[in-house]
Amino acid sequence: MGAENWELKKLLDKIKHGEIQLPDFQRSWIWSDKQIKSLLESVIRGFPINSIMLLACDADTVEFSFRKIELLESVESKPQHLILDGQQRLTSLFGALSFNEAVRIIDSKGRVKKYFYYVDMAKAITAVQNSETVEDMIISVDENRKLKAKGKNLDLSSPKRAFAEGMFPLNKIFDASEWIFKDYREYHSDNEQARELGTTFYYEVVKKISSYEIACIMLEKNIPLAAICNIFENVNIGGVKLSTFDLLTAIFAKQKDKNGNPIELRRDWEKIKEVFAEKGLDILKEVDCADFITALTLLISYEKFFRNKRTLVSCKSEDILKLDYNDYLDYRENIIDGFIEATEFLKDKQNITTIKYLPYKPQLIPMAVIFAELKLSNKDNVASSNKIGQWYWCSVFSEAYRDGHLSRFAKDVVQVMQWIETNRKPNTIGSIQLNAMKLLKPKTLQSAIYKGIISLVFKSGAGDFIAGKTIGACVNYAEGIEIHHIFPKKYCEAQGLPKAKYDNIANKTLILKKTNQTIGSDPPSIYLTKIEHKTRLSSVDVDEILERHFIDAELCRADDFDTFIVDRAKKILDGIENLTGKTIPDRKSPDVVKTFGAEL
């Protein structure tokens, strides 16, 4: 890796001829008219615009496909360098300074706009000589070279009109001498002041742009693909993140399918998304291309491990980039089915139907692989499903997927499959340490444990206090759901209760927004009576609804907060122990007694 300064003209000429192109994993050019003007102003004033990064390449042997910049229809050469960082800036500069046609831009409302860029010669001289920003120094006009906006009416549709206005077309910047010293001077043959302006503009502005240099970080040809991916991610922090899927798409595009056509991985992903969408499962719709290709790589890796124990199970970036297209085809349907099975398992067995209340989305990846592998090995049965459920809940309440996802993916797939085959429990279950205070402490949906306890309520089939519909169903139909303090917050504050005691998950559940508004700040004894009158439900019916939320109706009707909070905390911990198959050892600890006033 080295650094060189290249003249702007040299860079843009190489882009024009195709000697500099884009790797196919680069996203589209998206800069706005405003961004282009700001960039042009920086160049005119001689300000640096940050370095660009170029990867040297041999077009015939480079491992991924490439393409010309978006403004060009064709190029005459194969690339010698590919742009890793600087696509937006270089494409913008090429369009404004070296492109003979209007620059096509998509505005913020999705409308196609076409612009030519001009510079006000007098204002540019002032900006350069005085080192100051001059408003409207750069002007963009439409494809007819006219501007009608914000009280301005500018017509540059002919060279003579541009001469008269003193507006220089920036796409003539590298061939400006004839425009200025011949055509412009002839037009102003009787105007010495205008002729002097043209001369000053040429030497103060044009010459500076012609010699403007950009720092180029040059990468050598032999850099590994995984390193290129890592470099791109690091230098492109402010832009759209490159995923390993993008790079794999470019790698596959260099290959041919059985019909001799380039392999279009992204188009195949669009088909897979359609399959997922048809299932109507909210969580399944949130599976993205990175999730899919990671899971597919993990499944293939596990299959190789299963056949040959000497191989490692892994789904890191370098493993994905080594993916063989035939393996992709062989296991594609399996992992599609795996994701469908995983989301149906969450919906049907755990009552989790929406991504909002899924504690860890990344856990879908190993879960999909496990379900795919169960089908491949004919082990998809009730016993296997129960074990997956226990592993899932242990992972949630131990916060196993908080970080270190990739290594955990592989470890969990291997160990859960071993457990299904040999009854040897995975580390996620065997070594889990549950803590009562940690489980009951979270206060918001930012916490996976909080989501886990809410999911515990979903799993019990809890319904809204008034509507009666299960909360899971309400969530799925986008009805307003809110976290409800069972003993309302204002009531607890008025009673002088400690915040740590009333503002925790043991005093919260999910209900419809309109139900929460009905309850207001009344104590349970009052709002439960209101609910009975409003719904004409019997107290027995209301009590049954409350029980599914792990709420003791008798304690609520008596407004016995102290006994209620202990009782509900116990029931939540009992539920966690039941799902995980693990004991929570500190239910009698001093911290628990201090917070809740009793052992749990």
Which domain-ending residue is among 384, 399, 432?
A: 432
* Cβ neighbourhood burial of 270 (10 Å; 0-12, 13-18, 19+): exposed
Domain identity same for 193 and 277: no
Distance, CA of 441 to CA of 127 (rounded, Å): 60
Q: State the pLDDT at residue 162.
A: 96
Weakest-pLDDT range from 144-153, 324-333, 495-504, 543-552: 144-153
Residue 224 inside a domain? The answer is no
Give residue 516's pLDDT: 86
Check pLDDT > 90 for residue 515.
no
Entry pTM: 0.76
pLDDT of residue 553: 94
Q: Do 386 and 401 belong together in one domain?
A: yes
Domain shared by 386 and 419, yes or no: yes
Q: Both 529 and 387 in a single domain?
A: no
Q: Are residues 201 and 298 in the same domain?
A: no
For residue 134, name the pLDDT band (cuts at 50, 70, 90).
Answer: confident
- Is a pLDDT exceeding 60 seen at residue 238? no
Question: What pLDDT is recorded for position 589?
Answer: 93
- Is the predicted pLDDT of residue 237 greater than 60, yes or no? no
The answer to whether position 290 is within a domain reads yes
Which residue among 411, 432, 453 closes a domain?
Answer: 432
pLDDT band at 3 (very low <50, low <70, confident <90, very high): confident
- Residue after which a domain boundary falls, among 164, 196, 215: 215
Longest dimension (CA), the chain: 101
Supply the range of the domain harboring residue 15. Answer: 2-215
Is residue 229 assigned to a domain? Answer: no
What is residue 119's predicted lDDT score, i.e. its pLDDT?
Answer: 97
Mean predicted confidence (pLDDT) in 407-424: 92
Query: According to the model, what pLDDT value does residue 379 have?
Result: 84
Residue 263 has pLDDT above 90, yes or no: no
Q: How many domains does the chain have?
A: 3
Quote the tokens at residue 390: 């226990």
Question: In the prediction, which pLDDT does 233 show?
Answer: 62
- 317 and 269 in a common domain: yes
Q: What is the pLDDT of residue 16?
A: 95
Q: Do 406 and 318 share a domain, yes or no?
A: yes
User: pLDDT-derived band of residue 301, with 50, 70 and 90 as boundaries?
Assistant: very high
Confidence band (pLDDT; 50, 70, 90) for 311? confident
Task: Confirm whether 231 is domain-assigned.
Answer: no
Report helix, strand or coil for 100: coil
Return contacts of 142-147, CB within 8 angstroms, 24+ apart: 142/102, 142/113, 142/114, 142/115, 142/116, 143/102, 143/114, 143/115, 143/116, 145/116
Are 591 and 543 members of one domain? yes
Single-letter residue type at 357: Y
- Asked, for residue 387, whether it belongs to a domain, the answer is yes
For residue 253, the model assigns a pLDDT of 82
pLDDT at site 236 = 59
pLDDT band at 224 (very low <50, low <70, confident <90, very high): confident
> With pLDDT > 90 as the criterion, what percentage of the chain qualifies?
63
What's the rounded Cα separation, in Å, for the pair 115 and 170? Answer: 11
Confidence grade of residue 1 (pLDDT, cut at 50, 70, 90): low
Is the pLDDT assigned to residue 567 strictly greater than 80?
Answer: yes
- Rounded-to-integer distance, Cα 127 and Cα 107, Å: 28
DSSP secondary structure code for residue 313 in this structure: P
Same structural domain for residues 389 and 443? Answer: no
* Mean pLDDT, residues 373-388 taken together: 90
Radius of gyration of the chain (CA): 33
CA 403/CA 405 separation, integer angstroms: 5
Same domain? 454 vs 396: no
Q: How far apart are CA 427 and CA 413, in angstroms?
A: 11
Same domain, 586 and 498: yes
pLDDT value for 222: 78
Q: Are residues 390 and 297 in the same domain?
A: yes
Residue 320 lies in a domain: yes
Average pLDDT, the chain: 90
230, part of any domain: no
Question: Is 226 within a domain?
Answer: no
Of 49-53, 238-242, 355-359, 595-599, the least confident: 238-242
DSSP string for residues in 420-485: HHH----HHHHT----HHHHH---STTSHHHHHHHHHHHHTT-B-TTT-SBHHHHHHTT--EEEEE
